[in-house]
Chains A and B, each alone.
Chain A
Amino acid sequence: MNRCEQTQLELTNALAEGNLHTPAELQAHLRGCANCRQAWQEMRLTWRALGALAEEEVPAGLSQTTRARVLRELEREQANAESARIGKSALVSVTLGVVFSVASVWVLGQKSDLTAFSPQVLLSMGAAWAALYAAAVLLAMRGDSEPRYGIAARWVGIAGLVAMGLSLALTRSCSIGQALDYCKMSPGVRHLFAGVQSQTLYFLLGSLYSLIPLLIASAIVGIKAPRHPVVLGLMAGGVFVVLTLPAILLQCGAFSVGVSLSWIFGSVVGSLAGGPLGSLAGAVLGRHLRPVHTGAGAAT
């Protein structure tokens, strides 16, 4: 490549890069070389002429087909990814459901006599409980975290599971049977419950044993999800009742139907009271804990 070609190459690239000022050494060459001066002028004219060419629009049919194909691919990928996520969630839910069920039966076995049940019945109840736990875990994992139709499904599942954990912890430290014995036999309080029927006591204790865990769990969740606290609390109470039902049935093995129903009824009442109350308390607490946005610069 001779000097003129080299100069024109550099001028071309200066043009392409948008450098309007040619370097001093190129200018020196241009001053002394009529050919390159001419070429430089032509280059600029050609470059400008190229820029004046009209651009075509993409034909409508082609545009539509291309966009549709890509968007279809995108949807297909998203559907596959969603299926994979659901499959993974289902596996995690079932695994956790089984683990929670076994752990729950073990906790109850520490405090209640489960020998009243045959191994088949125990296994069936354990399996049913695992299914309920799995459903609650799935709800906690896959449910919407923002309210839809007034319910933040994820938080409902989380509240129900946390309440269930607290309930088992409460049972492990002091079961309802132990609490009942304390009420009936402790010298300090037994006169208070003298004459109170067992069914009533089971109703009261069942309510209390549901209300306390649900109050705490809903309050914790209410801080994170303050919208629609009553609905959220009621739904969390519903989840908790469903989860706690196998625990009540396992502990009521030797009890009459009346006592069992009183306990269950008490649990329902305690849950439906504890959930909304806890959620409301959590929502109020959350408002105090969250930093307040003053909206500086807004209307004065």
Chain B
Amino acid sequence: MLAYAGGDAGAFDELYKRYGARLFNFLLRASGDRARAEDLFQATFLHLHQARKNYVAGTFKAFLFTIAANLLRDERSRAEYRRRTTMDEETIEAIPAANRIADSDPESLSEAREASETIEAAIAQLPQGLREALLLSRYQGLSAREIASALGISQGAAKVRLFRALAQLRAALRAADKAAGESGNE
């Protein structure tokens, strides 16, 4: 990154090769909209280019995904998009932890792993704030501190979001299992 900040085009290519697909998948899942993900993908790299002189030696991944998350947040602030997808902190706090699991079957969750469409749909159903925390943690390997920095929240809030995201996802997968079981019985 430091070489790229110094104007090395080869260094940019290297960064692009390493992080391009990961960023694209993050934006695709976080935005839930391919066209928007493509716009944000370009915008992230252009913002990265403009902000590269501000980069101080550290985790490039966190730097890149902070830019992407900020752009997502800006995008969300547009009225229509906000109405469709955003969920404020109060709503996030009100999400149940989904810890009533007595009737769930772990083996059926295992089967759900095969059904990637189900999981993708469950991710898409997550509120934006939870979804971003989950994606940054699971797919980009960012720590709670880095997620907090990228999303502009406290580290404690980042941990809670991750917990609630996973809890919601479990609940969604259980529901999908149950629905599949019922349709199978019929």
Interface residues of A (CB under 8 A from B): 1, 4-5, 8-9, 12-13, 15-17, 35-36, 38-39, 41-43, 45-59, 62-63, 65-67, 69-71, 73-75, 77-78, 81
Chain A residues near B163 (CB-CB < 8 A):
5, 8-9, 12-13
Q: Could you give, for residues 153-173 of chain B, a 1 whenever the CB lies within 8 Å of some chain A CB and a 0 otherwise?
A: 000000110110011011001
Q: Which of B24, B46, B119, B170 contacts A56 (CB 8 A)?
A: B24
A48 CA to B116 CA in the complex, in Å?
A: 12
Q: Interface with A: B14-22, B61-69, B73-81, B178-186, which one?
A: B14-22
Nearest CB of A to B5, in Å: 11
Complex Cα spacing A35 to B46, Å: 48
Option from A16, A35, A43, A77 in Cβ contact (under 8 Å) with B144: A16
Closest chain B residue to A13, Cβ basis:
B159
Residue on A with the closest CB to B110?
A45
Is B106 an interface position by the 8 A CB rule?
A: yes
Asked if A78 meets B7 with Cβ closer than 8 Å, knowing A16-B162, A35-B99, A65-B42, the reply is yes
- CB <8 Å contact, A35 and B9: no
Chain B positions 99 through 114: 1 when the CB is less than 8 Å from some CB of chain A, otherwise 0: 1111010100110110
Smallest beta-carbon distance B125→chain A, Å: 14
Other 6 A-B pairs with CB < 8 A, given A16-B144, A38-B106, A74-B49: A5-B97, A36-B99, A43-B166, A49-B112, A53-B116, A71-B9
User: Could you tell me the distance between the alpha carbons of A63 and B109 in the complex, rounded to whole angstroms?
Assistant: 36
| Cβ–Cβ contact A16 & B138, under 8 A | yes
- Minimum distance in angstroms from A296 CB to a CB of chain B: 31
Q: Establish whether residues A49 and B109, one from each chain, have CB atoms under 8 Å apart when the complex forms.
A: yes
When chains A and B are docked, how far (Å) is the Cα of A56 from the Cα of B120? 13
Residue on A nearest B107 in the bound complex, by CB: A45
Bin chain B's interface residue count.
Answer: 35 or more
Contacts of B160 in A (CB 8 A): 9
Residue pair A56, B21 in contact (C-beta under 8 Å): yes
* 1-47 of chain B: CB within 8 A of chain A: 7, 9, 12-13, 16, 20-22, 24-25, 28, 38, 41-42, 45-46
Residues of A within 8 A of B99 (CB): 4-5, 8, 35-36, 39
Cβ distance B119 to chain A, nearest Cβ, rounded Å: 6
Residues from chain A with Cβ under 8 Å of B106 in the complex: 38, 41-42, 45
Tell me if B16 and A67 are in contact (CB < 8 A). yes
Interchain CA distance A15-B141 in the complex, whole Å: 11
Main secondary structure of the interface of B (DSSP, over half): helix
Question: Is B85 at the interface (CB under 8 A from chain A)?
Answer: no
Of residues 133 through 159 on chain B, the ones whose CB sits less than 8 Å from some CB of chain A are 134, 137-139, 143-144, 159
What is the distance, in angstroms, from A51's C-beta to the closest C-beta of chain B? 7
> In the complex, what residues of A have CB within 8 A of residue B144's CB?
13, 16-17
Shortest distance in angstroms between B60's beta carbon and chain A's nearest beta carbon?
Answer: 15
Q: Are B104 and A50 in contact (CB under 8 A)?
A: no
The reply to whether A56 and B28 contact each other, CB–CB distance below 8 Å, is yes
Q: List 6 A-B contacts (CB under 8 A).
A: A12-B163, A47-B166, A50-B138, A63-B20, A70-B12, A73-B46
Q: A67 to chain B: which residues have CB within 8 Å?
A: 12-13, 16
Q: How far is the CA of A42 from the CA of B143 in the complex (A)?
A: 22
Q: Which residues of A contact B123 (CB under 8 A)?
A: 50
Q: Is the CB of B162 within 8 A of A13?
A: yes
Contact A46 B173 (CB under 8 A): yes
A56 and B25 within 8 A (CB): yes
Bound CA span A38–B107, Å:
12
Residues of A close to B12: CB separation below 8 A: 67, 70-71, 74
Task: Give Cα distance in the complex from A281 to B22, angstroms.
Answer: 59
C-alpha gap A73/B102 in the complex (Å):
57
Known: A48-B113, A59-B38, A69-B42. A53 touches B104 (CB 8 A): no
CA distance A59 to B173 in the complex (A): 29
Decide: A16 near B49, CB < 8 A? Known: A48-B113, A57-B21.
no
Q: In angstroms, how far is the closest chain B Cβ from the Cβ of A20?
A: 15
Contact partner, B9, options A57, A63, A74, Cβ 8 Å: A74
A38 touches B102 (CB 8 A): yes
Known contacts A8-B99, A16-B162, A55-B25; is-contact A70 B45 (Cβ 8 Å): yes
Within the complex, the shortest CB–CB distance from B118 to chain A, in Å, comes to 9
